[in-house]
Amino acid sequence: MERPLRILAVTRKPDAASYEQRVQRCIPPLTRRGHEITETAIPRGLLAEPRLYRRFRNYDVVWWQRHLAMPHLLPIIRHAARRLVFDYDDPLTFSAKGGGRPSWSRRVRFAGMMRTCDAVTTASDYLAASARPYCSSVHVIPMPVDVPDDPPPLHQRSEKPTLLWLGSRATQPYLDLIRPALESLAGHALLRLVAHEPMAFGELEVDFRPWSFEQQETALRECHVGLCPMPDTPWTRGKCPYKVLQYMAFGMPWVGSAVGENLNVAGVTQPGRGPRGWCAHDNTDWKQAVTELISDPEQAETIGRDARAYIASRYRRDSLIDTLEDVLRGDTNTPASNKVTPAS
């Protein structure tokens, strides 16, 4: 039996959603397997940052999430880390501002970081393609999702057909992309908005709930159709639709923009209805999709049921932990010199 690992999980922004979803939620199951995991934030400062990196030698594995180190620090990191595993779920070679502007400095930092790592984990094939020219050990580990045991069937949820959008302050403006479709649904549906700011859509009834884990969980159990609008930009094409995976885990049919990973998760290659969701190209598509789902409960139940089964088979957190543990240890197609042998 292989010995447990001492793992240091590092990131620049420990309060970021990606760190919470891809690292923090995986810590309890890894700890139950005997691994010792310490979390720390990468400090800012000319001396503080290199001081942290020199501590890497005290751990079997450094599990690094998302932050791109400056090139002059990479030799210090490589010298100190016995094994370095980098995780990301955004297209880091682009700037998030302006819809994903190409960034020369980000490309340089990304390439350097990938060359420095022993292994890389990322959330989709689209993102993995950007790392493979620089690292020989790149692994796709989808966004892990906690699949509830007993979400209520759609016909037992809120009496009025209820649409759901939940998300961050950064993505809330995307709702303006489907404003005409939402306004046209006034009198036919209610919009549950679990967000940071209230919004109005003409005469459409909006039930605003300030975002919290509790409100999110309640909404996922009470609503009928999930929404995921996104613009088509280099940034969003690489985004992994975590809210969509949550909708699916709770047996909820959903409608999303026909962009990037939304298409793959829905099971389509172009706008339209798929076996696990519906991808819309414009506001006409959005109105048609939502109207059909709220007026045809049988179709909605079928899509929701199939979506939930798909998530349970491919995205369940417990099943992905096996792959993650192998990558952290080095029990994958990596050079033998990069495999960790835990210190006594």
Report residue 344's pLDDT band, with 50, 70 and 90 as the boundaries.
very low
pLDDT digits (tens, 9 = 90+) for 316-335: 888 899 999 999 999 755 44
pLDDT value at position 101?
A: 76
What is the mean predicted confidence (pLDDT) over 195-207?
Answer: 97
What's the mean per-residue pLDDT of the chain?
A: 92
* Under 8 Å between Cβ of 257 and 271: no
Which residue in 224, 244, 245, 243 sits closest to 301, CA to CA?
224
Phi/psi at 240 (5° precision): -100, 120
Average pLDDT over residues 311-315: 93
pLDDT at 95 over 80: no
Strands 278-280 and 272-273: antiparallel
Q: Residue 148 CB: number of other CB atoms within 10 A? A: 14
Cα 276 to Cα 116, 273, 299, 306: the distances in Å are: 38, 8, 11, 6
* pLDDT at site 99: 64
Query: Using CA atoms in the order 207, 209, 215, 216, what is the torsion angle rounded to 10 degrees?
Result: 80
pLDDT at 253 over 80: yes
In single-letter form, the type of residue at position 281 comes to: H
Average pLDDT of 97-114?
A: 86
Confidence band, pLDDT 50/70/90 cuts, at residue 1: low
pTM over 0.85: yes
Tokens of 193: 């908005």
Write the secondary structure of the chain as one string of H (helix), E (strand) and C (coil): CCCCCEEEEEECCCCCHHHHHHCHHHHHHHHHCCCEEEEEECCCCCCHHHHHHHHHHHCCEEEEECCCCCHHHHHHHHHHCCCEEEEECCCCCEECHHHCEECHHHHHHHHHHHHHCCEEEECCHHHHHHHCCCCCCEEECCCCECCCCCCCCHHHCCCCCEEEEECCCCCHHHHHHHHHHHHHCCCCCEEEEEECCCCCCCCCEEEEEECCHHHHHHHHHHCCEEEECCCCCHHHHCCCCHHHHHHHHCCCCEEEECCCHHHHHHCCCCCEECCCCEEECCHHHHHHHHHHHHHCHHHHHHHHHHHHHHHHHHCEHHHHHHHHHHHHHCCCCCCHHHCCCCCC
pLDDT reported for residue 102: 78
**Domains of the chain, earliest start first:** 6-144+316-338 (3.40.50.2000), 154-314 (3.40.50.2000)
Q: Is the pLDDT of residue 98 over 90?
A: no
Over 70: is that where the pLDDT of 187 sits?
yes
For the record, the structure tokens of 134 come out as: 């620089």
Please work out, in degrees rounded to the nearest 5, the angle formed at the alpha carbon of residue 10 by the alpha carbons of 7 and 12.
175
**Amino acid type, 332:** T
Residue 165 has pLDDT above 80, yes or no: yes
Position 343 scores a pLDDT of: 42
